[in-house]
């Protein structure tokens, strides 16, 4: 989904609260302190490849190196390149300043929930994008449950979260700041 499609989706969902909620989760991904400290994991049947690629793009385009994700895989194949060979044991080494982002449209398996609990105990921030898994959302510091029959689907939510993660909040330029300062000092301009 390109940026124009994300903007269109935001326009469609503007009155629903979903834009703000996905933006909050996207911004929470930035709390990771170091590149590679954002760990993405899914279920054995559905690894979050697509979201990993989008977050890598957002890290590159925004200059926010901490958004460069590490894809954690259930069964990395022998001889896989380093970035594709990170196994579940990496979650056990998660620590303060790192973020574990669990992406699970369906129920998270017990072995994943156990590892998430361990990572939380060692100080990692736990975030989740899930399909209504109460156990997973109970372990997460922040989670969004995507209802099966809601205004947004799971794929759309992933696009909104990744786009929000890379957004640079607009800061007013010098001209706008000076105009506001002048308005405060002299009062707002009154049209003639």
pLDDT for res 1: 62
Mean per-residue pLDDT, 72-77:
94
**Could you tell me the pLDDT band of residue 12, with boundaries at 50, 70 and 90?**
confident
CB 150 within 8 A of CB 121: no
pLDDT tens digits, residue range 30-58?
988 888 899 999 999 999 999 999 999 99
pLDDT digits (tens, 9 = 90+) for 152-173: 888 888 888 888 888 876 666 6
Contact 48, 74 (CB under 8 A): no
pTM score: 0.82
Q: Which domains are seen in the chain, by residue range?
A: 3-186 (3.40.50.10490)
Residues 131-167, buried b or exposed e (16+ Cβ, 10 A)? bebeebbebbebbbebeeeeebebebbbbbbbbbbbe
CA-based torsion, 87, 109, 113, 64: positive or negative: positive
């Amino acid at each position: 989904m390109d940026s124009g499609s994300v903007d269109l989706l935001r326009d469609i969902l503007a009155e629903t609260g979903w834009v703000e909620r996905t933006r909050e989760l996207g911004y929470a991904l930035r709390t990771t302190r170091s590149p590679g400290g954002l760990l993405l994991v899914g279920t054995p049947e559905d690894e979050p490849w697509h979201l990993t690629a989008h977050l890598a793009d957002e890290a590159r385009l925004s200059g926010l190196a901490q958004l460069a994700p590490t894809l954690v895989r259930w069964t990395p194949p022998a001889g896989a390149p380093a970035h594709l060979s990170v196994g579940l044991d990496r979650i056990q080494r998660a620590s303060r300043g790192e973020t574990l982002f669990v992406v699970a449209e369906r129920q998270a398996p017990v072995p994943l929930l156990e590892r998430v609990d361990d990572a939380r105990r060692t100080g990692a921030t736990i975030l989740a994008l899930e399909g209504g898994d109460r156990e997973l959302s109970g372990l997460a510091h922040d989670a969004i449950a995507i209802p099966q029959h809601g205004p947004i689907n799971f794929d759309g939510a992933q696009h909104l979260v990744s786009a929000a993660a890379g957004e640079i909040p607009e800061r007013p330029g010098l001209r706008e700041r000076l105009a506001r300062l002048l308005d405060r000092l002299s009062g707002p301009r009154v049209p003639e």
